Structure 1
Amino acid sequence: MGIFSRTRDIIAANVTDLLDRAEDPAKMIRMIILEMEETLVEVRASAARTIADQKEMRRHIGKLQGLQDSWTEKAQLALSKDREDLAKAALVEKQKAADMAEQLSHEIEVLDEALKVSEDDIAKLQAKLREARTRQNSLVTRMESAHNRLRMREAYAGEKVNEAFARFDMLERRVDMAEGRADALGLGQGQKSLEEEIADLHSAEKVDAELAALKASMTSSRGA
């Protein structure tokens, strides 16, 4: 079953409201556009049939006008031969042709009004179709943006990032332990020897260097 039951429904439809109430807006907008395109084709086909009917009626009116002229000539001929009865009969046939031509002219006027309505409907349908296609393009752009953001968040919340933070925590713990040992060794002791101080500096440099490298690696990963 379609979304719209007739052309007027499409023209009066609020596309934004339909999308807001849809569970799947992307699917809904595709269905809306498809129905609008199909309805536009149907309205144009109906207008084409109306135009064809009008042309046929005008041709028929032309033939009826020729028939009226023919009956007029026949009536004149009958009168010239003193056959008033035949002249009257010819004029009756002429009137029948005139009445039929008048009826067809009226039908053409009715079809003219229908064509004006169809032309107005086509213009409004085209406007609605442009609106729907614009909304579809907007939805596609928003969906792509949302997917990109999701991929970025998944990347930041991924296993590799978690492992890097775990290593970072471990290194910080190692630094704390090294500092703790250094502080503990100093308890109750006098001033360190020159060799001990130099050894402590080497140990601290290695830990600091590894910590700096890890930080640089994580910064580079986030920038990517």
Structure 2
Amino acid sequence: MSILTRFKDIMTSNMNALLDKAENPEKMIDQYLRNLNRDLGKVKAETASVMAEEQRAKRVLEESKADAEKMEKYAIKALEAGNEDDARKFLERKTQITEKQAELQQAYDLAESNAHQMRQMHDKLVSDINELEAKRRMLKAKWSVAKTQERINKIGSSVTDANNTAAGFGRMEDKVNRALDEANAMAELNKAPKDDIEDLASKYDKQVSVDDELARLKAKLNKE
């Protein structure tokens, strides 16, 4: 299948209809984009080649025009020097060059048209791939939600007694609460016993410090 044929099939097909037939839409979307990105690489290479051909045709045409102008300048110089025969030869060569320019111009026009078409094709393919990338994210998100809902539905269908389920959750909650209470009690028991003597000692340390300061002030007053 050619690049353009595959590209046309992708862009004109009904994506939702294709996904309905697919066992795994995610894989199918990824495969589409892998194919398109691979084709984009080929289109880029072909576009570069066509653009290079356009530049080559343009360069040949411009060189031909420059050669024709050069022959005319030589003819003028020959006439100024009084050499009419030389001038005639230069003009004959200019005529030969000019006759070929029509073909060169036609080749350049075709190359330019081809390059323009390839650039348009390349830009359209890039744009459409970006659009499909966005669509892929959306479809994959929907597919993920659908699969999650399907799992929930299967779980829900297996539950026949909502009261028993609620009671089961209640028992689990009680078990968790008991485990938490036991863990907190064990943590409390594991704490080292508090030694109050240090707090008591600090009280008297502060008192001694105040007494020392009072004695110092009294001694200062007596000296005065």
TM class, shorter-chain normalised? Answer: 0.5 to 0.7
Measured in 1, the distance between the counterparts of 2:98 and 2:15 equals: 51
Residues 97 and 220 (structure 1), Cα distance of their counterparts in 2 relative to 1, 3 Å cut: farther
Name the counterpart of 1:81: 83
Gaps of 5+ in 2: 172-224
- CA-CA distance at 1:29 after TM superposition: 1.3
Provide the secondary structure at the position in 1 that maps to 2:5.
coil
Q: 1:139-174 CA distances to partner (integer Å, 9 max, x unpaired)?
A: 32233223323443454566xx68xx6xx9xxxxxx
Q: What's the counterpart of residue 94 of structure 2?
A: 94
**% of aligned pairs identical?**
21
> Where does residue 116 of structure 2 map in the other structure?
116
Provide closer, same or farther for how the CA distance between residues 22 and 68 of structure 1 changes in structure 2, counting only shifts above 3 A.
same
Aligned length: 171
Gaps of 5+ in 1: 169-211
Correspondences of 1:164-175 after superposition (within 5 Å): none
Q: In structure 2, do the counterparts of structure 1 residues 216 and 48 end up closer, same or farther at CA, with 3 Å as the change threshold?
A: closer
1:23-45 CA deviation, whole Å, 9 max, x = no partner?
Answer: 43222211211122222333233
**In structure 2, what is the Cα distance between the partners aligned to 1:8 and 1:99?**
43
Once the two structures are TM-superposed, the CA of residue 53 in structure 1 deviates from its matched residue by: 2.3
Task: Determine the C-alpha separation between the residues in 2 that align with 1:116 and 1:2.
Answer: 20
- Quick one: which of 160, 167, 170 aligns to 1:217? 167
Q: CA RMSD in A?
A: 3.8
Distance in 2 (CA, whole Å) between partners of 1:31 and 1:97 is 54
Go from structure 1 to structure 2 and tell me whether the alpha carbon gap of 1:215 and 1:54 turns closer, same or farther (over 3 Å shift): closer
- Rate the CA distance shift 1:74–1:120 in 2: closer, same or farther, 3 A: closer
Structure 1 residue 10, shift from structure 2 partner: 4.4
The within-5 A match list for 1:180-191 is none
Match of 2:32 in 1: 32
1:197 aligns with none
Q: CA 1:41/1:215 → structure 2, altered by over 3 Å: closer, same or farther?
A: closer
Matched, 1:51 2:1: no
- Scaled by the length of structure 1, the TM-score of the pair is 0.57
Deviations 1:170-205 (A, max 9, x none): xxxxxxxxxxxxxxxxxxxxxxxxxxxxxxxxxxxx
Name the CA distance, whole Å, in 2 between partners of 1:97 and 1:10: 49
1:54, CA displacement in angstroms?
2.3
Query: 1:134 deviation in Å?
Result: 3.1
Corresponding residue number in structure 2 for 1:65 = 65
CA distance in 1, matches of 2:166, 2:71: 106
Structure-1 residue corresponding to 2:149: 149
Work out whether residues 11 and 124 of structure 1, in 8 Å CA contact, stay in contact via their aligned partners in 2. no
Residue aligning to 2:134:
134
TM-score, with structure 2 as normaliser: 0.57
Query: In structure 2, how many angstroms separate the alpha carbons of the residues matched to 1:60 and 1:98?
Result: 13
Question: Which residue identity does 1:43 align to in structure 2?
Answer: V
Letter of the aligned partner of 2:139 in structure 1? L
Shift in Å at residue 101 of structure 1?
3.2
Alignment-mate amino acid for residue 40 of structure 1: L
